[in-house]
Amino acid sequence: MLGYLLSRRPAPGARPGALVDPTPEQQIGKLTIYRMDFGGQVAIQERCEQDLERALAVPGASRHPLTWLHFEGDVTAAQLARLGVDFSLHPLALEDVLNHGQRPKLDVYHATLFVTLVLPYMAGERLVLQQVSLFMGEDFVLSFHAGAHDVFAPVRERIHAAHGRIAHAEADYLGYCLVDVVVDSGLAVLADYHDRIEALEDRIFEDRTDDLIEVIHDLRRRLIGMRKVLVSQNELLVRWVSLEHPLLHSDNRPYFRDVQDHAKRVVDLADGYYDTVGSLLDTHLSLASARLNDVMRVLTLIATVFMPLSFLVGVYGMNFDTRYPWNMPELSFAYGYPVLLGVILLLVIGMLFYFKRKRWL
C-alpha cells in the first residue's frame, strides 16, 4: 500500500512533546549511527557506532567546525531525550522525529532549524514513503532516516573527496546536500513510473482483451498520493529559499533555489504522469466500448440475416392438410424443399451484399 512506512501517531490526549517508544510492530530496524567531523585544517574523521554514548564522544583533542550525526533505523525515546539535552533541541521537534508520518515542514527555533521531509523509493513493485528529519545548528547537523538503507552514503563520499563547497563545513550547505538527495529520489521513482506507464500503454493497444481498469486505478492512486507529499515538500523549500535566519548564509541561497527547482520539477512530472494515467484510463474505456460496439454490430447483423429465414421456415413448418383448397399448394410441390433452400440462400447473399454496400460490414 501507499503510505509512510510504519507510520506512528501519539495517543489521543498525550502531552505535547511526550516521547514514547514504538511498539515492536512499529519498529523498523536496528539503529546505526554515522558520525562525521570535518572542516578546517583538521583531517576528516568518520566512524559508525551502535551506541549513542560512543557516537557522542568527541574524537581527539581538536574540535572540527562541523559535526554530522546520521541516525539510520529506530531511535528510542531515551536517545532522543539525550540528544535534546546535548544539542538544545525543542521537545516538539523531537516528538515529530519519533512519530513517523509527518508532513514535510520547516520549523524555526532560536538557534536551530528543524526540517521534516518525505523520501520516496521503490521497494520492488511497491512505492514506499519514509520520513527524513534534519536538525541544523551552528556547528552540527543531525539527520534521522526512518528506514533500513543508508540513503546518505553519497554525501559522505563527497565529504571525503573534499571537493566543492561541502568541504567548507557549513551546516546549511550540508543540510542542502541532504535535502537534495531526498528530492532527487523523487525523480528516480518517477522515472520508474514513466517506464510503467509506457508498458501499460503498450498493453492497452496490443492486447485489447485485458481488463486493466484495476491496474490503471492503482497506478493513479499511488501517483496522487505521492503528489500530495511532493507538493508540501515543494512549499517547504519555497519557504526555505526566502527564510531569513542566522544559520542560512546568503551565498548558499542559489543552491537552495536549485533544489527547490528540482522539487518543482518533480511535482510537475507527477502532475503530468497523473494526467497521462487518466488519459490511459479514458482510452482503455473507449477501446472497451468500441469492442462492445463491434460485438453488438456483428450480433445485430446475424440476427437481421436470420429474421427473414426464420419467417420462411416458420411459415413452411406449419403442417396443414393438403386435401383442402385453402391449404398451401407448395406443400405438394415435389421440389419445394430445394427451392426453399435456394430462396434462403439468395436472401442471405442479397442481405450481405446490401450490408457491404452500406459499409455495415
Strand partners, 71: 33, 144
Q: For residue 288, give the amino acid letter.
A: A
What are the tens digits of pLDDT across the range 296-349? 888 888 888 888 888 878 777 777 666 776 677 666 777 777 877 888 888 888
Q: In the structure, what pLDDT confidence band is assigned to residue 1 with cuts at 50, 70 and 90?
A: very low
The answer to whether the CB of 58 falls within 8 A of the CB of 33 is no
Q: What is the DSSP string of 51-81?
A: -HHHHHSPPSSSPPSEEEEEEES---HHHHH
Cα four-point dihedral sign 227, 232, 233, 234: positive
pLDDT at 26: 56
- Higher pLDDT residue, 3 or 253? 253
In the predicted model, is pLDDT for residue 140 greater than 90?
yes
Residue 52 CA to residue 87 CA, distance in Å, equals 14
**DSSP-assigned letter for residue 126:** E
* Cell representation of residue 79: 536517545
Contacts of 217 (CB under 8 A, 6+ apart): 281
- Higher pLDDT residue, 325 or 292? 292
Mean of pLDDT values over 3-22: 57
Residue 344 CA to residue 305 CA, distance in Å, equals 10
Residue 328 CA to residue 324 CA, distance in Å, equals 9
Enclosing H/E stretch for 127? strand 126-136
pLDDT at 284: 80
Pairing of strands 126-136, 32-38: unpaired
Q: In what order do the strands lie in the sheet with 32-38?
A: 45-49, 32-38, 66-72, 140-145, 126-136, 113-123, 105-108
Instruction: Among 57-71, 198-212, 248-262, 321-335, name the one with the lowest average pLDDT.
Output: 321-335
Residue 252 CA to residue 271 CA, distance in Å, equals 29
The answer to whether the CB of 360 falls within 8 A of the CB of 299 is no
Instruction: Among 165-174, 210-219, 319-328, 352-361, name the one with the lowest average pLDDT.
Output: 319-328
Helices (H), the chain: 52-56, 77-87, 91-98, 153-161, 171-206, 213-242, 253-315, 336-357
**What is the CATH topology of the domain spanning 24-287?**
Beta Polymerase; domain 2 (3.30.460)
pLDDT at 10: 58
Residue that the C-alpha cell 492497452 belongs to: 204
In the predicted model, is pLDDT for residue 33 greater than 90?
yes
Mean of pLDDT values over 254-260: 92
The overall average pLDDT reported for the chain is 83
Residue 279 CA to residue 273 CA, distance in Å, equals 10
**Domain segments of the chain: what residues?**
24-287, 316-357
- Higher pLDDT residue, 2 or 154? 154
Residue 361 CA to residue 355 CA, distance in Å, equals 6
In the predicted model, is pLDDT for residue 117 greater than 70?
yes
Q: What is the DSSP string of 209-253?
A: T---HHHHHHHHHHHHHHHHHHHHHHHHHHHHHH---TTS-GGGH
Terminal C-alpha separation, the chain: 47
